[in-house]
A and B are shown apart, each in its own frame.
Chain A
Amino acid sequence: MKTFTKLAMAGALSLGLAAPVFAEGIYTPNLSYRTGPFAATGIPLMNGQADYMAMLNARDGGIGGVPIDFDECETGYSTEKGVECYERTKAQAVVTQPWSTGITLQVLPKTNTDNIPILAPGYGFSPMANGKVFQWAFNPPASYWDAASMIMQYIAGGDMGSLSGKKIVLLHLDHPFGKEPIPVLEAMAAEYGFELVPIPVGLKEMQNQSAQWLQIRRERPDNVVMWGWGAMNAGAITEAVKTKYPMDQFIGVWWAGHDEDLKQVGADGKGYKSISWSMPQPDAPVMADIKTHVVDAGLSQQEDLNSVFYQRGLVISMILAEGIKAAQDNFGKGEINAEELRWGLENLDISAERLEELGMTGMVPPFKTSCSDHTGHSGGWMLEWDGEKFVQASDLLMADAAFIAPLEEEKSAEYAEANAPWPMNEACE
């Protein structure tokens, strides 16, 4: 009995003291997933994000003289934990970085009442690009629909008419994330006359995709486009190698371009491609700074500094840092709040000159956000696995904005209607 009383007392005490203790500076939490089924892909990204902020703190003393309190809240990619983390951090945080399409969908409607920006670089709900409807959500520099458009352009080789009569398989995770590109690909199939065959991979079948690849063999598609994540990518790539599917016809989205997945097959994976809005630049000046200030100081957990995902993590934190900086410059103060950061993220201008200043030339294409465009639509490069690492395989590809914009408009309007009353940002033109 005594132990129970003690336990109860300890519990009550910890509840009473639950008021969190925060370090100084701008609080930018990250809903990380270093545990769970997707940890292998999450860790390098989280390391990249953390290291960039650590580098800024060590080199410049933060942003505009204010240190960045970068903190992680572990979700294990579970939506339930994600919402717990969101609720835990939202009072002090200037931003929420949900890190999964499921968590994004969950917190998206809440941001309007909580007034806190969501930063979901390269993921989430593609119509979030429409800043007029989604005032608080940002998915720079490119959305999934951009990715679909860029991949199709690459397959077509610049001439969309050549797609006519082709058969394209979309191998996708059967999950909101995997279903994202379907509306835009369907519209393109109708427009350009190719046949789209979506093949879903259930969450339980990620590691054993023999049925799906049997179907692919039967269908004999001209190309396989993959919307995969976590264990699904390694499963698909090994299965493709096993069934001797020509690797140069196999293209993945940016989350399907993880070095570790391809190292498993090594030279057999040669020719596999992945569209990407980020590219590793081992010689970029920023990498030297990361090395001196973070890695050599023993603050980093990352081993391979040149992997695609690690450097993408750096770019993601750079986008956030630039948003903070833009807000600081505009409002003329260091300690900005969530509302001011929203303005900053809406007025990002990552020009080629700015990238040069940051020492990140070539790591991400230049882009610009605005009140009505929360994505920036930077475009991206096709990366190709050469047997050891990813190398650039194309010039900068740009998404077909004229094709995507009406769809974004339509789907965001649908969303707003389903969630009525939904506040619109009438300030945008």
Chain B
Amino acid sequence: MLYRTAGQFKTSYRTDQALFPIRQDAFLLGVILICAWVVFPLTASEFTFQTLLTPILIYSLAALGLNILTGFAGQLSLGTGAFMGVGAYACYKMVTLMPWLNPVVAILLSGVFSAGVGVMFGIPSLRIKGFYLAIATLAAQFFLVWLFEKWAWLYNYNASGAIQVPNLDIFGLYVAGPQASSMTQYYVVLTIVSLLTYLAINLTRGNLGRTWKATRDMDIAAELIGINLMRSKLTAFAVSSYIVGVAGALFVFMWRGAAEPNLFDIPLSFRVLFIAIIGGLGSILGNYLGAILIVGLPVVLNTVPRALGIEVESALLEHLNIMIVGSLIIFFLIIEPHGLNALWRLIREKLIIWPFPH
């Protein structure tokens, strides 16, 4: 009923291939966008900005980057955390070497560096596949984190080995560093994330996306129909690492404010990989759903007992939290092994044919 598609006729190829062929989808997206751009910022507290809105967006973006590589092009990567680190350190070096640089430009440029590094570590993917490639990207993970620790130039010879985000402004408005307000940072993140998501949707629908999918589904067949595997795989590495690098720069500059090398270690890579897997490989929406589940839910769960007025010890709460989130992940993967995105697709399909299921 809510999702009835009857009466929505497509009279040209153009309308058939539109971003949202079904009117309700566009409407739903509009509601979400209004929430994200207007309703949340007006109602959210500092706590909500810092622990829910901003981190969920940043993690979604990182997962989106990984999803392009793993979900669309089929190249398994365990080095996401390190590529995020490349973006963060590149951004840090740029803003400290060139303080006049617009911070948003610096963040967008920092992705270029991680794209370069990503392509370099992507070269072995031409010869090795699957789990073996995962091990090769694992090497990138260990090597890069080691580099962040040992190459003192990267953190400006700071005694503690950590990078600290300085105060950065655009036309007098602070966007990064301790002086920046959470709302400004949220809008910067939201703008960049919206922009990159829009690009990613269209990339994956277009020519490049189709070559990636062909490579993923069967590379020999793809080669036989004339797809250049080298180009397909390396562009996937480049685009993916670019997005991941931007996410890394946002991660440190728009949210954390400071970072030590081991922040970018393997737990971060796994966290992003889990978001991508639980959200659904080969999907765009899934990254957001996955990030809400993995990043947002524990924070919300932590506030539940207090809100209900139950006194629970903080350590016990943390243990309960880990158990609940863990079992929810298992639950969702059992009812829909292809992730939350597939679950949403199923629900939507049922809604379209409701109330007459065949």
Contact = CB atoms under 8 A, between A and B. Distances in A.
Contact of A113 (B178, B300, B317): B178
Interface string B149-167: 1000000000111101011
A14 B307 contact: yes
A176 B155 CA distance: 12
Given A105-B160, A105-B162, A76 B318 contact: yes
Nearest to A31: B314
B308 interface: yes
Given A14-B303, A21-B307, 19 more contacts: A17-B307, A17-B308, A18-B307, A20-B307, A21-B309, A72-B313, A76-B318, A79-B263, A80-B256, A83-B256, A84-B50, A84-B299, A109-B178, A113-B178, A174-B161, A175-B262, A202-B149, A203-B265, A418-B166
B313 A35 contact: no
A180 interface: yes
A174 B149 contact: yes
Contacts of A411: 159
Nearest to A15: B300
Contacts of B345: none
Contacts of A87: 46-47, 50-51
Contact of B50 (A18, A72, A83, A420): A83
Contacts of B258: 105-106, 109
Contacts of A179: 159-161
B315 A19 contact: no
B306 A20 contact: yes
Nearest to A86: B50
A87 to B, nearest CB: 5
A44 to B, nearest CB: 14
B257 interface: yes
Contact of A110 (B47, B257, B304): B257
A233 interface: no
A32 interface: yes
A282 B316 CA distance: 30
A74 B260 contact: no
Q: Size class of B's contact patch?
A: 35 or more
B179 interface: yes
Given A411-B159, A420-B166, A109 B303 contact: no
Contact of A125 (B51, B149, B160): B160
14 contacts: A4-B347, A34-B314, A72-B313, A76-B318, A79-B256, A84-B299, A87-B50, A88-B303, A105-B260, A106-B256, A109-B178, A179-B160, A419-B167, A419-B177
Interface in A59-93: 71-74, 76, 79-80, 83-84, 87-88, 91
B304 A14 contact: yes
Nearest to A43: B315
A83 B309 CA distance: 23
Given A74-B314, A83-B50, A125-B160, A112 B178 contact: yes
Nearest to B263: A79
Interface string A307-339: 000000000000000000000000000000000
A176 B314 contact: no
Nearest to A180: B160
Interface string B161-184: 110101100000000011100000
B14 interface: no
Nearest to B307: A17
A161 interface: no
Contacts of A176: 160-162, 260
A125 B170 CA distance: 30
A11 B314 contact: no
Nearest to B149: A174
Contacts of A73: 314
A298 interface: no
Contacts of A297: none
Task: Enumerate the 7 nearest inter-chain pairs by beta-carbon distance, A residue then B residue, closest first.
Answer: A109-B178, A34-B315, A17-B307, A176-B160, A74-B318, A74-B314, A72-B314
A229 B269 CA distance: 25
Contacts of B127: none
